[in-house]
Structure 1
Amino acid sequence: MSALICGSFAYDTIMVFHDRFRNHILPDQVHILNVSFLVPDLRREFGGCAGNIAYNLKLLGGDGLAMGTVGTDFQPYAEWMDRQGMSREHIRIIDGQYTAQAYITTDQDDNQITAFHPGAMNSSHENRVSDADGITLGLVSPDGRQGMIEHAQQFAEAGIPFIFDPGQGMPMFDGEDLMRFAEQATWLAFNDYEARLMQERTGKSLDELATLVEAIIVTRGGEGSRIHHDGRITEIPAAPAASLEDPTGCGDAYRAGLLHGLQNDMDWDTTGRIASLMGAIKIEQAGTQNHHFTLDEFRARFRDTFNYDFG
């Protein structure tokens, strides 16, 4: 079962300010704001939802193809993907554009100021689901607005079951848009904030939305996650992490776990726990694609964490 993962690729430039923003941003002077932060710590990471999910699914031994649009500056990322054995077959380079870029400055209180340039991501609709052969499972993750709309429609028209995962792309859609996604999708995935926003914009409760799909998955950070399916809720505990280094990309790691469970016809109790453990492993490392493990190591940790073996 091959999964097509539609979404973004991005470079994440992360800077650390060794002070607090509040010491330099004066509330009564924001109308003439002009500040500069010295950031002695800087790293550049490979990111974007499609790239992150495909990376994590590869670690689990899953069969996944990432589909996205990137700029002419993509070569370093491409070389990284090649080293990881990740397919670039459905990545389209857009001439005259940069790959999406996030510039994130974090202070000592873990506050963040982020600037995001979508770049080539806005051309994601130039890719079509039908460009990929042998796809039996799909995922629509944050991407260009038109691309998300068209890819969801293409999955639905092709009869390919897919997860709709709007993530940080949710503000681009109104209630009518979100209802259409819910009617097209097979599964919906949100964090708890996005789930509340989904309910507010559609005017539908999670129970009502759950009648449209096979399952709704809601992650809740350290409180674990909930999977609404078959008229009931399955509670998934948060897997313990050895350290809390960086939460960025945990949601993408979780979604790779969902895909792995779906690809292998696992029940929701096990699928959710695989996803939960993926998030815990990710949070132990800075960056979104810097964690590593073998499948045997993952199985052993799963057994130690949940006291049983999976599939």
Structure 2
Amino acid sequence: MTALICGSVAYDNIMVFEDSFRHHILPDKIHILNVSFLVPRLRREFGGCAANIAYNLKLLGEDPLPMATVGHDFGPYRDWLRQWGIRTDHIRTLDDYYTAQAFITTDLDRNQITAFHPGAMNRSELNKVTDATGVTLGMVSPDGRTGMIEHAEQFAAAGIPFIFDPGQGMPMFNGEELRRFIDQSTWVTVNDYEWQLLKDRTGWDVEDVTSRVDALIVTRGSEGSSIYTASAEYEIPIVKPAAIEDPTGCGDAYRAGLVYGLLHKLDWETTGRIASLMGAIKIEQHGTQNHIFTRQQFEDRFKASFGRSL
């Protein structure tokens, strides 16, 4: 069983400004804004939806296959993925581009200023779903616009069931395009904000979506998540984390849990709880690929969290 995860691979450059932006950005001077922030602390993390999901699937004992386009600076990231035994067969390097990168500056009030350079991600259509063999399940997650459209078409044409996960990429698509994605996909997953946007753009509600896909999964942060099918609704509780360090990447960890459950044909209540636990484990660590656990540790925590064995 192999899951092909189409999406971004990116570097996250995270900086901390040890003051408040509001002390340096003057409202009456916005029209001539020219500010500089000293950031003594800097972390460079490995990120991107496809790689984050693949990392979490690897922790769960799977052999995920990320598909992405990266730039000439991908070397350290490639070494990291290979260190974890994550295949890079379908991560294409484009020498004329940089790997996608986010530059995030956070102040002491936890406000953020982010700049994102898509780089090689914008050429994701160069990869074809049919380039991979032995794929039993697919995922279309945030990536280059053309790549997302073509990969969905290719999964559907190949008869490979796939999850549509528009995420931050949703603003790139109009209602007609989003309706097409849903019609092609087998499952749809969004957070609560994205669900509202999806409803607004498509004009569809829960019943409209679940009449077209096997399940709609909506995550709601600290309020848990909901899994809707044509015949039932499952409310998935959260797992209380030991600490809340960094929510970045929690959605990707949750989605890895969904993929795991689907690969193993588990029921929705079990699948949702695996996903919920994955999100809690991630939030306890900074960065999107710094958490780690053994299979036994995961099973023990699952039982402690939900009162039953996995």
Q: Is the 8 A contact 2:63 2:86 kept in 1?
A: no
Alignment of 1:14-93 (within 5 A): 14-93=14-93
Alignment partner of 1:258 is 2:258: yes
Distance 1:37 1:254 in 2: 34
Residue identity matched to 1:168: Q
Distance 2:301 2:56 in 1: 16
Distance 2:170 2:73 in 1: 27
Residue identity matched to 2:64: G
Q: Which residue does the alignment assign to 1:123? A: 123
User: How big is the shift at 1:230?
Assistant: 2.9
User: How big is the shift at 1:261?
Assistant: 0.3
Alignment partner of 1:227 is 2:241: no
User: How big is the shift at 1:63?
Assistant: 2.6
User: Residues 92-145 of structure 1: CA distance to partner in whole angstroms, max 9, x if unpaired?
Assistant: 001210000000000111111000000000010000000000001000000000
Distance 1:275 1:23 in 2: 40
Greater displacement, 259-268 / 20-29: 20-29
Distance 2:296 2:126 in 1: 39
Alignment partner of 1:199 is 2:193: no
Q: Which residue does the alignment assign to 2:209? A: 209
Q: Which residue does the alignment assign to 1:141? A: 141
User: Residues 205-257 of structure 1: CA distance to partner in whole angstroms, max 9, x if unpaired?
Assistant: 12211111000000000000000013321000011100000000000000000
User: How big is the shift at 1:80?
Assistant: 0.4
Aligned-residue Cα RMSD (Å) equals 0.6
Distance 2:90 2:196 in 1: 33
Q: Which residue does the alignment assign to 2:288? A: 288
Residue identity matched to 1:283: I
Percent identity between matched residues is 66
Distance 1:230 1:212 in 2: 9
Distance 2:233 2:225 in 1: 10
Q: Which residue does the alignment assign to 2:243? A: 243
Aligned pair count reads 310
Alignment of 1:268-279 (within 5 A): 268-279=268-279
Distance 1:260 1:109 in 2: 37
Q: Which residue does the alignment assign to 1:98? A: 98
Q: Which residue does the alignment assign to 1:304? A: 304
Distance 1:60 1:230 in 2: 29
Q: Is the 8 A contact 2:140 2:151 kept in 1?
A: yes
Residue identity matched to 2:177: D
Distance 2:138 2:309 in 1: 26
- Aligned residue for 2:239, secondary structure, equals coil
Distance 1:298 1:147 in 2: 34
Q: Is the 8 A contact 2:164 2:189 kept in 1?
A: yes
Distance 1:230 1:58 in 2: 31
Distance 2:17 2:306 in 1: 39
Residue identity matched to 2:14: I
Residue identity matched to 2:278: M
Distance 1:225 1:20 in 2: 33
Q: Is the 8 A contact 2:207 2:230 kept in 1?
A: no
For normalisation by structure 2, the TM-score amounts to 0.99
- Aligned residue for 2:136, secondary structure, equals strand
Distance 1:135 1:220 in 2: 30
Distance 2:63 2:235 in 1: 27
Gaps of 5+ in 1: none
Distance 2:295 2:140 in 1: 26
User: How big is the shift at 1:40?
Assistant: 0.8
For normalisation by structure 1, the TM-score amounts to 0.99
User: Residues 60-106 of structure 1: CA distance to partner in whole angstroms, max 9, x if unpaired?
Assistant: 01231000000000000000011111100111001210000000000
